[in-house]
Structure 1
Amino acid sequence: MNVLVGLAIILFVLMKVIGGEKGIRSFMALFFNFGVILLAIFLMANQGNNPIVITLLACMAISYVNLFYINKFNFKSITAIISTIITLVFLILLIFVIVERSKIQGFGIEEVEELQFFSFNVGIDFSKIAISTIIMGTIGAITDTAISISSAMNEIYQHNPSLDSHKLFKSGMNVGKDILGTTTNTLFFAFIGGYLALIIWFKDLAYSFGEVVNSKVFSSEVISIFCTGAGAILIIPITAWLTAYSLVTYKKQKK
């Protein structure tokens, strides 16, 4: 417990020194988002509640905290959250199809031994839980990419107000391409770091490459990463176009 408190204090001090007021809000947002996720889990555990609906509401709450609470209510946050909603709509359709065809819901055979003493009759549709897990995993990357592009494009337009929507969109796409490279690498290394023990376990079990790829534990995480990556890619042109169109249109209306 003392270690956790010490690390929390170090994190707070660093965020305060480097981020100032926004750093403090970012630190508080961690606890707000944790509370939203915890509440969503409790609501999902109650039979009769639709996990997907709860997840979407939780994602909207997390997006509000990440965009409006941290960055306040401004043009950048508005375009970012609209882009997030549009991306989620397209992404949900993709996730539905992938989960239905891949059958990754439930537990893998590697987990059965640990769970054999528990009842599996929990009264929850695990297909919906699998969809909810992937959606929840994408929201952080999507909002992060959206606000990064929107903020960068606002700065570009403020220093170059003569840019038309096409040139501004192109600048936003260039920023997005740079973000995309680091985002995909972050997702990859997050998977490797989080599941390094699982990969070592597969080696000890003498799994072939085909058995590893077809393992439900492994494939479910890889599919989640691919869906998150697809969301991070899809939101780049959506945010760039929406921001460019909105900025130029707003300028014309002011004239």
Structure 2
Amino acid sequence: MKKLVLFILLMLLSTNVLQAAPASQPVEYEKGTVVFVGPLNQAMQKQYQMAKGELVSIQLTSGPEAGKVVDTFNFVSERSAYEIRVKPGDKVIVAISHDLGKVTYHVSDFDRFDYVYVLGGLFVLALVVFGGFIGAKSVLVIAFSILVIFKFFIGQVLINQYSLTLLTLVVAAIIAVATQLVVSGLSKKTLAAVLGTVGGVAVAGILSALSIRLMHLTGLDSEEAMLLKASALAHIDFQGVLFAGMVFGALGAVMDVTISIASAVYEVKSVQPSIGFKDLVRAGMNVGRDIMGTMSNTLILAYAGSSLPLMLLIASQQNAPMLKILNLNMIVTEFARALTGSIGLICAIPLTAVITAVLLQRD
């Protein structure tokens, strides 16, 4: 069923049906606001007499025709998963096509990204208000991480010049070092957290590579990956992309754990300078055990949340053979993604505790 849906979606994309314009014609996209939804007028009834739909009037809010109200036919059925049902007041993206001198307008999608700006602003505000100077520095490291991944890593993946495994580990190390240095400053505590992060991510990376190889994971576990493979980026190593996703998914949680343990051991040493190596390690492990359960559960829940439709699909197939379902590429990939990251996080705890104790005892 999923392959059939993907094939239909691919055909729609290749013929620009989703954009409601021929592939050979240029299509422009502008913002608009729905001002009216109702039955078709007489002209549209004659033109679309065999199709079910409604008349949608849209006021364009961007581009050279901003302020103009245009009418369009919006296809509506009870079966299509890709139809767009709109109501007055909705913000939409309008596809404007030029065919034989005639301009046509179609609802392409909802205009969603303005709300992303609002959420992003609230996120930054919360960091700065409740985190103060550290929160402001956190905003900087988040921006840096996004910049490195989107501008450098993805650019290198598209060029396909270097090994994705090596590239992933280098980018992960750069993000870990930059994050810990900016947030915590240059100190032995930061060094211990960085080394613990590198060690934990290395464990997750090794297990990810082994899982991909031994479980014969293809990296084509999502609709996006299948569409890219079939249409735009057939030359990309999708197993390498899967490896990168596993490593980056574990990186954030591992950094959180390592800096918490390093900070705790550092504070214990500050309060009691005469404490021995074993007691420092024990203190770090005690803190780590408290963190271990919740952070591992956080990773599992994060992956479970993103895979909820998949779990519902499995649960709804009462008579399906579980042996077949549990061995599907998409199912095993999600298990491997969650478990490798969790194991890397767990291994980072004793590693960080020992490294921090060693560095502080040298004083």
TM-score scaled by length of structure 2: 0.63
Relative distance call for 1:115 and 1:67 in structure 2 (3 A) is same
- Structure 1 residue aligned with 2:167: 54
Identify, as 1 or 2, the structure richer in strand: 2
Residues 142-182 of structure 1 deviation map (CA, whole Å, 9 limit, x = unaligned): 21111110011111111121210101100100000001011
Q: Which moved more, 1:95-104 or 1:207-216?
A: 207-216
Distance (Å, rounded) in 2 between the aligned partners of 1:2 and 1:92? 36
2:291 and 2:153 map into 1 onto residues whose CA distance is 30
CA distance in 2, matches of 1:94, 1:191: 17
Over 3 Å counting, the alpha-carbon distance change for 1:94 and 1:189 in structure 2 is: closer
Is the 1:63–1:143 Cα contact (8 Å) retained in structure 2? yes
User: Structure 1 residues 55 and 117, CA, compared in 2 at 3 Å: closer, same or farther?
Assistant: closer
| Cα deviation 1:57-77 (Å, max 9, x = unaligned) | 210121023211122222211
Match of 1:31 in 2: 143
Instruction: State, as a whole percentage, how many aligned pairs show the same letter.
Output: 26
| 1:157–1:7 CA distance, 2 compared to 1 (3 A) | same
CA displacement, residues 109-151 of structure 1 (integer Å, 9 cap, x when unaligned): x849x73993487223333233222222221122111111001
Q: Are the aligned partners of 1:105 and 1:129 in contact in 2 as well (CA < 8 Å)?
A: no
Aligned residues between the structures: 249
Mark the CA change 1:4 to 1:158 in structure 2 (over 3 Å): closer, same or farther. Answer: same
Kindly indicate whether the alpha-carbon contact (under 8 Å) linking 2:204 and 2:250 is maintained by their aligned counterparts in 1: no
1:47 Cα shift? 2.7
AA in 2 matched with 1:33: S
- Structure 1 or 2, whichever has the larger Rg, is 2
Distance change in 2, residues 1:121/1:94 (3 Å):
same
1:91 positional shift:
3.7
Asked whether the 8 Å contact 2:192–2:352 carries over to 1, the reply is yes
Q: Using a 3 Å threshold, how does the CA distance of structure 1 residues 106 and 117 change in structure 2: closer, same or farther? A: closer
Q: Could you say what secondary structure the match of 1:162 adopts?
A: coil
1:205 Cα deviation (Å)? 4.7
Task: Give CA-to-partner distance per residue, 1:79-116, whole Å, 9 cap, x none.
Answer: 111222233344433332221101112324x849x739
Counterpart of 1:17 in structure 2 is 129
- Counterpart residue number, 2:330: 217
Match of 1:137 in 2: 249
The letter of the residue matching 1:129 is V
User: What is the TM-score when the length of structure 1 is the normalising length?
Assistant: 0.88
Picking from 103, 118, 137, the partner of 2:230 is: 118
Helix, strand or coil for the counterpart of 1:106? coil
The gaps in structure 2 that reach 5 residues or longer are 1-112
Aligned match of 1:234 in 340, 343, 347?
347
Aligned equivalent of 1:45: 158
Pairing 1:180–2:288 present: no
Do structure 1's residue 94 and structure 2's residue 215 form an aligned pair? no
- Choose 212-221 or 164-173, whichever is displaced more: 212-221
What residue in structure 1 maps to residue 360 of structure 2? 247
**Are the aligned partners of 2:220 and 2:238 in contact in 1 as well (CA < 8 Å)?**
no
Counterpart-to-counterpart distance in 1, 2:123 and 2:204: 33
- Sort the Cα spacing of 1:6 and 1:158 in 2 relative to 1 into closer, same or farther, 3 A: same
Q: 1:201 to 1:34 in 2, by over 3 A?
A: same
* Residue of structure 2 equivalent to 1:253: none
Q: Which moved more, 1:236-245 or 1:22-31?
A: 22-31
Greater CA deviation, 67-76 or 129-138? Answer: 129-138
